[in-house]
Every structure is written in C-alpha cells, then in structure tokens.
Amino acid sequence: MLRTLSRVSELPIIVKQLQKRCHNNNIIGGCRIFSNNHNNSNNIIRNGRYSSSFFGLFQNAAQAGVSKTNNYATEATVQVNRPFKLHRLDEGPATEVKLTKDQALKYYTQMQTIRRLETAAGNLYKEKIIRGFCHLYSGQEACAVGMKAAMRDVDNIISAYRVHGWTYLMGVSPSGVLAELTGVQGGCARGKGGSMHMYAPNFYGGNGIVGAQVPLGAGVGLACKYKGNGGMCLALYGDGAANQGQVFEAYNMAYLWKLPVIFVCENNNYGMGTSSERASCNTDYYTRGDALPGIWVDGMDVLAVRSATEFAINYVNTHGPLVMETNTYRYSGHSMSDPGTSYRTREEIQEVRQKRDPITSFKELCIELGLITTDEVKAIDLKVRKEVDEATAFAKSDAELGVSHLWTDVYSNNLEPKLRGTIAYDIDHIQERKGVNH
Amino acid sequence: MNIITAQLGHILHNCIRFNIKCSWSRSHFTYYPTSLGTGNRMNMFNAINNAIDLALDEDKSALLFGEDVGFGGVFRCSVNLRDKYGSQRVFNTPLCEQGIAGFAIGVANTGATAIAEIQFADYIFPSFDQIVNEAAKYRYRSGGLFDCGSLTFRVPCGAVGHGALYHSQSPEAYFAHTPGLRVVVPRGPIKAKGLILACIRDPNPCIVFEPKTLYRAAVEDVPTEYYTSPLGKADILRHGKDVTLIGWGTQVHVLLEVAETANLKLNIDCEVIDLVSILPWDTDAICTSAKKTGRVIIAHEAPLTQGFGSELASYIQEKCFLHLEAPVKRVTGWDTPFPHVFEPFYMPDKHRCLSAINDIVNF
C-alpha cells in the first residue's frame, strides 16, 4: 500500500473513512457537504509531502475502516487536495466531497476509456488511417469527467477541437468516435466532420477555429434562460484561446444579461507551442472575466473539478456567468504534427505523468479508500481495452458514405431545386438529417 | 465521363486512405517546376524563408510575427529567423487573428514594415474586419495622408489532402472584392520568393496566399539573391492555340498536366496561364489569350459561386465576346463546405478539367 502511495504525491487528503451510509447530508451553496457522525474515524492532514507520521496515520485510518466494516467501503468523504482559488466570490466550492463506490467505478472507467481512445486515435494516425488534424486529450481526462459528473440532463457543453473524450462522455460510443476520426459512415458525424467536428445531444460540438465556440456557448446559455428549463452551458476553451477577442465579448454579454454560462478555461499551459506565460498578460485565467467571478481548480483531480462544477452550476443559474479555470496538462503535442517536446522538456512531461496523472492518482485514492479493489481495476482495464480494440477494428473496417453525400446537408431548404456545382447543375440538394436541436 | 471520373477518383481516394502502394501520386497534382537555370535547390518554405531573411536584412524596420512564428512557424517558413534577427523583430503572437491584423496595420501606419502570418487562411476571418475595413481603406479615407502600405500578410491556403473544413479553404475571392488590397498566389518557390519580396516593397497592403501543399512538394532551383516578381502580371506557362486554361496556385500544376494529356490523347493544344495576381489581375494577358483561342476554362479550388473565376468569366465575355467559340467554363470546388473524406471528389482535379476541355471543344 505504501509503495503505491509513494508514486502519487498529489493524492487528495483522506479525511474520513466512512462506514456504509453513516452520515448526514447538508446542502450548502448547491454543494453537498457530508458530515460524518462516526466517532471512530480518523482525520488525516497532509502538507504536500508524505511524512512518516502521515503514513502512520493513514495506516491507522485504513485499518480502522477495514476492521470496522470487515469489508470494502461503499462511500467515503474526501478533501480536495489543492485548494480552490476564488475571484470575486465570498464562498467557494465544497472542499469535502463524497465519493460512492459506483461513482468511483464510473469515473475511473470513463477516464480510462478516454485515455485508451486517445491512444488508439494516436496509433491510427501514425498508421495514416486517420488523416489531417487530431488533437489528443490524454492528461486532461479529469476535467471532462469531473464536469460531466456534475452536469444534469438539462445542461449543455460546447468546446473546441480537443473533444474526442467529451464526445464519448456525451453519449457517443468509442466506435462512433474512432469511426468519425477515420472518416467512415459509422462515425458520429457520418465521417463528414472528422477529428474536430463531433456532436451529440446537448453537446454543441467541437470547433476548429480557436475561441469561436465561446460566444456560441453564451448563446446556448441565453436559450436555457429564455426557455426557463434551469439548464446552463459550459463553454470550454484553452489557455491559448483565452486571448481571442471574442472570448471577452462573450464574457461581457453573458454578464450583462446574467446568462447561465460557465466559461471554462482548460489551462494545459501551452497554446500550441507557446507557454501561457509567453502568451497571456495574466495567467490567472479565472480572474480574466473582470467583473465575472472566477474559480481556480486542480484539473488533474476529478473530484475537485466535480465539486467546482456543482458549485458553478448552482451559481450561474442564480447569479449569472462565472469563469472556471481547470489547471491541467496535455501529454501529447498540440496536435499529431507537434511532437510536443520542442517547447518543453521530456522531464516535465514525465514528472506530471508520475506525480499528477489524473487516472493513476484517482485509482490509487479509490483503492486506498477501499472503494475499488485491484481486481475491479483490472477488470475495468480489460473491459475498456476490449471495447476500444473493437471500436478500432470497426473504425478500420467500416465503409465510407457514398460520394453523393458530398452535397447533402449544405442547406435545409436549398430554394433552388438543383445544387450549384461545377460541371453540371443536375444534382438535387438533400437534407438527410434533422438537427438534434430541433 | 463523370461516372468514370468518379470511379477513378474513388480508386485514387482508396489508395490514399489505406496507403496502398500504387503508381498514383498521393497528391491530386504533379508538380511542374519552373527553371531559371540558376540558384540553389529549395522547396517553397525554404524559398519563403530566404525571401523574408533578405527582407529583414535589407529593411531594419521590418518585423515578422504571427502564431508560432518565433519557433519557425508551423510550416517552417520562419525557421532560424528569430535567432538571426532577435526576438525584438521576429516573435510569436497570442492566438488572436484580429489582434494580429490590427497590430500589423498599426505597425505599418508608422512606416515600419510589417510581415504578419495568419497561420491558416481558414483563420483569417476573425481579422477580416481589420483587413477589409482598416487596412484596405486607410489611404483613401485619410485623403492620402496615412497608409499601411508596408504591410504584408502571409497566409497558407488551399487543399492539402486531409485538411477538412478549417484547414483547406481558398478565400482569395473575399479579398479580391476589396479595393485597396493586393492579392497574389504563388505556384512554387521561385514565384513565392519574388512575390513576397514584391509585396513587402509594394506601398499597398498585400496578401500572399501560399498554397500549403506546395511548401514541401514544390522544389526548384531558386536564385539566392534579392529579386522581385511583378505584381499584377500573369505568366503564360504553356503556349497553345485551341483552349486557354487559367488557374493559380496548386491548380496551375493540375492544368499543366491536363494540357499535356489533352495534347496526347485528344490532340487539343492548350495554353496554360498562371494568373499569379488575383487583385489586380492581368486583363491584357487573359484577353489576348482568350481572343487567340476563343475557348477559356478557369479552374480554382474555391467554390463556384462568386469564386474569382466568375469575375474572369464576366470580363472575358464582355471584352472578347465576338472572339469566343464557346461560353467560358469554370471547373471549381463545389458549392459545399470544404469536405473531409470527400476531398478527392470536391477538387477540380485533372479528370474534371480534361472533361471540361472535351466539352468546350465540342460545344
């Protein structure tokens, strides 16, 4: 146990090891805080580094938990390790969060699936089966999984071009994602979008133009408010896109009209090849909304992201927009054509992988808490591998759409009976699919 | 003919997708180099790098900037220039195209030389307002008191085989609609260097659309010394008497191959003209050729409707009406967004151009 722990220096503090459902629920600021009435549970405080006393305490805690229940726990309360930073907020997200066994299994499966999907996509690209542009999310999984965990059915999300993981989380199967990347008809956009252009209900998609999706997110937020359905929109962009003028235009409109929008800056530290310090006058992206309140959250900690998003959802529906910065890291280059090592060192990447990896740290936390067994981890890994392998095989073997689909879905109603082309004007315009937003 | 074209295209497409070794080229064109019989062997990004190097060396006020330009740029056109001229003159900008364009205009307003890169032509639209409303009209609206003439935008454009919707477009026609700008498109390394140096020196804001697929694919012997290519002048690359074929950028190479095929298989003698300069365009060269052959085909990658071919066709019918043997024909991209997997079918490739030659001769 101790050996595995030592590989993860950023584990959240384990505050209380709970027995089955021995707690009360309190609702504070939209976030659920769980207080533990169990007298025998141990509190563990950690100051960034493991000390012998910490290990001792931890051992006691773990032992106490196991001996009390004589079984694995089904839920636990965890303290977010790296504190939230707040801008123009008196109160922030809950730092103590509940994690059930089901949630633990779900988040681990989701993050592991995204990691595997991206590895598969990278390999398909190297085999030249995926062509063009391909931006991998490896390293940033906790951001998407944490946000998705907090989202309700009425909520929406729009993002940029690093969206394979989001597409999967929003309901597209791994084969739908990989098939889109290889441009075959089983893809979620039928092979007509490719890497940056994937969509699903409530997921307004990837966008190939840096920053262009952010005002769209504000518009989706307006629709939620107008309809009064209680929903909101997550508008995601990177630290590079944070310098696009239209991001600020969107902040301003959203604030003026109190729109339920969470502007999420996924700060992976590099806008293509430029580090954030060299591109942004203020790298505290959570403060860049000026009058808009902001939250900084550790984007490598799925529970911290979930807690912050839960808080933010409640906030934006009550008060209007908010900026949330998830501090994260991408392991790959900006896209497949960027080896990702000319502007940062291999050691830097290696260090993040070893110390802050969102999947490893979460897995080890769950094992230590007794929420997941190593056997369950192995079973999930095997299942995910099998699913992604099958999806890869499908993406390689499925057929492309026929060439006549080149000119479909350009307009809903073309007004002219024939589509203007180049050689002949004898092609009928066809709308094949009605949008999910209608 | 169209069905055969589609079938051939499909075979080619499958070869590309599955990387099957076949005699087909991976590109949709075969490169036809220009030869001056002198110079060093360079591909197009080397030649552009050489041109900017000379410009920065000659003009101490010249600045080079854009997204990732300091690192050499995503297409390597500015590689080593920051080391040579310092980060005061060659530098990265944040990802903000409107800001880049406005900033460049401001630099040029002061009389300094601004060479700005928009990383992909598809990203130029956030800066459209700055280019069209600020740069193009500066001289006119100040009654000649101010201008931003020492401004040059370098913009990679065009199809590259796998760019899909936002890394493939050819937006030259949008800018050709704006008096006050100059717009050029090189077909290879020699031309790229000459045009960039001419644009930098030209006292008007210029846009150089560089077909990105040529950066590595186009290799020529390029003179290493300073030279400029004339703006507003077309190049007649192949003389012929039966049909005039007009293109620019990569499409020129498609047309040169088609002209060869037409000569061999159909015994049709085509004249091939690289328009080079979109705004202003060389009306004399085009009309002289149109009057000679009486048949004109214009081919470009951008969509048909309001593509720059429509301006050429309109002008040709007005000025050469009595000389024409057939209506002017356009072979272009379709009126669809630039497609992902369907790129081979979208392109005005050699099969479609050859079909058009056959049609125009048998009109």
Tell whether the model's pLDDT for residue B23 goes beyond 60: no
- pLDDT band for A13, please (50, 70, 90 cuts): very low
CATH number for the domain running over A85-395: 3.40.50.970
Asked whether the beta carbons of residue A271 and residue B94 sit closer than 8 angstroms, the reply is yes
Q: B71: which chain A residues are within 8 Å (Cβ-Cβ)?
A: 273, 342-343
* AA letter at A62: A
Task: Give me the sign of the Cα torsion angle A408, A413, A414, A418.
Answer: positive
pTM of the model: 0.82
- Name which of A160-169, B21-30, B174-183, B261-270 the model is least confident about: B21-30
Q: Given its phi and psi angles, is residue A202 left (phi above 0), alpha (psi -120 to 50 degrees) or beta?
A: left
Enter the ipTM: 0.78
The Cβ-side half-sphere exposure at A87, using a 13 Å CA radius, reads: 19
Distances in whole angstroms, Cα of residue A104 to Cα of each of A21, A190, A347, A411: 16, 33, 30, 44
What's the whole-number average pLDDT of chain B?
A: 92
Chain B contact present for A157, CB below 8 A: no
Alpha helices of A151-301 — where are they, by DSSP H?
164-169, 174-182, 213-227, 245-256, 276-279
Q: Which of A391, A424, A429 has its CA nearest to residue A408?
A: A429
Interface with chain B: mutation pick from A422, A425, A428, A432, highest number of B CBs within 10 Å: A422
Q: Which of B73, B202, B35 has its CA nearest to residue A273?
A: B73
User: What does the pLDDT average to over B318-332?
Assistant: 97
**Predicted local distance difference test score (pLDDT) of residue A35:** 34
Integer Cα distance of B342 and B320 in angstroms: 37
Instruction: Report which DSSP code applies to A241.
Output: G
Integer Cα distance of B146 and B150 in angstroms: 11
Superfamily of domain covering B40-222: Thiamin diphosphate (ThDP)-binding fold, Pyr/PP domains (3.40.50.970)
- Cis amide bond preceding B280, omega within 30: yes
Asked whether the beta carbons of residue B163 and residue A132 sit closer than 8 angstroms, the reply is yes
Integer Cα distance of A196 and B167 in angstroms: 11
- Name which of A32-41, A180-189, A388-397, B340-349 the model is least confident about: A32-41
Integer Cα distance of A177 and A183 in angstroms: 10
Interface with chain B: mutation pick from A131, A163, A419, highest number of B CBs within 10 Å: A131
The DSSP result for A177-209, as a single string, is: HHHHHHT-TTSTTTTSS-TT---BTTB----SS
Same fold, B40-222 and B233-361: yes
Residue A211, exposed/middle/buried by CB under 10 A (0-12, 13-18, 19+)? buried
pLDDT digits (tens, 9 = 90+) for A218-227: 999 999 999 9
CA distance to partner chain B, nearest, from residue A216 (Å): 15
**Predicted local distance difference test score (pLDDT) of residue B8:** 39
Interface with chain A: mutation pick from B8, B91, B341, highest number of A CBs within 10 Å: B341
- pLDDT band for A273, please (50, 70, 90 cuts): confident
Chain A contact present for B213, CB below 8 A: no
User: What does the pLDDT average to over A310-328?
Assistant: 98
**Predicted local distance difference test score (pLDDT) of residue B290:** 98
Q: Which of A425, A326, A373, A308 has its CA nearest to residue A108?
A: A373
Compute, in degrees rounded to 10, the torsion defined by CA atoms B78, B81, B86, B88.
Answer: -30
What's the whole-number average pLDDT of chain A?
A: 84
CATH number for the domain running over B233-361: 3.40.50.920
Share of chain A above pLDDT 70, in %: 81
**Predicted local distance difference test score (pLDDT) of residue B175:** 98
Tell whether the model's pLDDT for residue B6 goes beyond 60: no
Residues in chain A: 438
User: What does the pLDDT average to over B91-97?
Assistant: 94
**Predicted local distance difference test score (pLDDT) of residue A429:** 73
pLDDT digits (tens, 9 = 90+) for B137-146: 999 988 888 8
**Predicted local distance difference test score (pLDDT) of residue A399:** 96
Residue A28, exposed/middle/buried by CB under 10 A (0-12, 13-18, 19+)? exposed
Residue tagged active-site, from B167, B253, B300, B351 = B167
**Predicted local distance difference test score (pLDDT) of residue B262:** 98
Distances in whole angstroms, Cα of residue A241 to Cα of each of A308, B194, B356: 22, 34, 44
Integer Cα distance of B283 and B289 in angstroms: 10
Q: A430: which chain B residues are within 8 Å (Cβ-Cβ)?
A: none
Integer Cα distance of B205 and B150 in angstroms: 6
CA distance to partner chain A, nearest, from residue B278 (Å): 20
CA distance to partner chain A, nearest, from residue B213 (Å): 12
User: What does the pLDDT average to over A270-277?
Assistant: 90
- Name which of A315-324, A427-436, B73-82 the model is least confident about: A427-436
**Predicted local distance difference test score (pLDDT) of residue A434:** 76
Rg of the Cα trace of chain B? 20
279-338 in chain B: CB under 8 A from chain A: 304-305, 330-337
Q: Domain locations in chain A? A: 2-79, 85-395, 403-438
Integer Cα distance of B145 and B168 in angstroms: 38
Q: Given its phi and psi angles, is residue B147 left (phi above 0), alpha (psi -120 to 50 degrees) or beta?
A: beta
CA distance to partner chain B, nearest, from residue A435 (Å): 17
Share of chain B above pLDDT 90, in %: 88
Chain A contact present for B71, CB below 8 A: yes
The DSSP result for B201-247, as a single string, is: HSSS-EEEEEETTHHHH-EEEE--S---PPTT--EEEE--SSEEEEE
Alpha helices of chain B — where are they, by DSSP H?
2-17, 44-58, 81-85, 97-109, 128-129, 138-141, 172-176, 189-201, 214-217, 251-261, 283-293, 308-320, 343-346, 350-361
- pLDDT band for B246, please (50, 70, 90 cuts): very high
110-149 in chain B: CB under 8 A from chain A: 122-123, 125-126
**Predicted local distance difference test score (pLDDT) of residue A409:** 84
Asked whether the beta carbons of residue A241 and residue B356 sit closer than 8 angstroms, the reply is no
Catalytic status, residue B167 = yes
Question: How many other CB atoms sit within 10 Å of the CB of residue A348?
Answer: 12
**Predicted local distance difference test score (pLDDT) of residue B97:** 95
Task: Give me the sign of the Cα torsion angle A137, A140, A145, A151.
Answer: negative
Residue tagged active-site, from B67, B97, B134, B301 = B97
Q: Looking at chain A, which residue has its C-alpha nearest residue B352?
A: A423
Q: What share of chain A is helix, strand, coil (3-state, %, to 5)?
A: 40, 15, 45
Integer Cα distance of A345 and A351 in angstroms: 10
Distances in whole angstroms, Cα of residue B283 to Cα of each of A23, A335, B204, B318, B345: 84, 43, 20, 12, 31
Integer Cα distance of A278 and A433 in angstroms: 44
Tell whether the model's pLDDT for residue B20 goes beyond 80: no
Q: Domain locations in chain B? A: 40-222, 233-361
Tell whether the model's pLDDT for residue A10 goes beyond 60: no
- Name which of A35-49, A311-325, B74-88 the model is least confident about: A35-49
